[in-house]
Amino acid sequence: MDTGSVSSSFERLLAPQPAPPWWLVLVTAALALILVGYRPLWRITRAAVTVAHEGGHALFALLTGRRLHAITLHTDTSGLTVSSGKPTGPGMILTAMAGYPAPALLGVGYAALLGSGRVSVMLWATLAMLVAVLVKVRNVYGLLTVLVLGALVFGVSWYGSDLLQAGFAYLAAWFLLAAAVRPVLELQRGRRRQPGRTDSDADQLARLTHLPALLWVLFFALVCLAAAVIGGWLMLAPVEQLHPLFQR
């Protein structure tokens, strides 16, 4: 393979792309809210949030020296990440804590890349993360979910026009920022309906840290809301430069 062509392709991948039309940023934000807020669609799109959630658990399990065994994704859009290591201590706490904030923090990362014009980097980084998750998925539904998401991202990044790529990337970023909040609300709603339930991340953290589970729910909510504000600002800031309506 010609090293010059590889270097040129790599440079094109990292090069910033022109800012998208101002209307695309706003339209994708509105579409993301519909995907999160409209229940029939949410039942489908929530699977992408579960992938990010379990990916967060898996990443911090590895970062803290735990042994990652398996990721499973279920048809009810729940998931489970299995790792082994010390059952208490900072590593276990960080692993349990990483799930709910993961989609929000990933959304902020996407927003930072998009705000600097790195649409291609964002899409290919997503593919790399999906491949990393795929290696540890251990059930058929989980494999299909990750493969479908990967095929969608690859198709857009390889065959899509610049406008389509930008629209897809902004939609994904807005979706993660908005969608991260809803599972936290659902978590607390489920804890209210089933007060004896102890298998949630918040309840697991309560046992590990001796802090109330509700405090951990509030922590998840604050992280997700802060991420939504920061990510939204990163993506909307260029809009002020692109359209007089949004200029101060």
Identity of the amino acid at 89: G
| Number of domains, the chain | 1
* Measured CA angle at 74 (ends 213, 65), to 5 deg: 60
pLDDT at 191: 85
Over the stretch 214-244, which tens digit does the pLDDT of each residue have? 999 999 999 999 999 999 999 988 765 555 5
CB count in 10 Å sphere of residue 158: 11
- Quote the domain boundaries for residue 142: 17-242
Amino acid 237: pLDDT: 83
Task: Tell me, yes or no, whether 10 lies in a domain.
Answer: no
pLDDT of residue 241: 57
Establish if 11 belongs to a structural domain: no
Whether 21 maps to a domain, the answer reads yes
| Residue 156 near residue 168 (C-beta atoms within 8 A) | yes
Let me know the angle formed at the C-alpha of 174 by 170 and 178, rounded to the nearest 5 degrees.
Answer: 170
On whether the CB atoms of residues 36 and 178 are closer than 8 A, the answer is yes
248 domain-assigned: no
Which residues lie across from 82 on neighbouring strands?
70
pLDDT lower than 50: segments of the chain: 1, 6, 246, 248
Single pTM value for the model? 0.91
CB 36 within 8 A of CB 104: no
User: Per the domain annotation, does 1 fall within a domain?
Assistant: no
- Whether residue 121 lies inside any domain: the answer is yes
Supply the pLDDT for residue 154. Answer: 97
d(CA 82, CA 77): 17
53 CB contacts (<8 Å, ≥6 apart)? Answer: 79, 99, 100, 102, 103, 183
pLDDT attached to residue 121: 95
The tokens describing 187, both together, are 């978590």
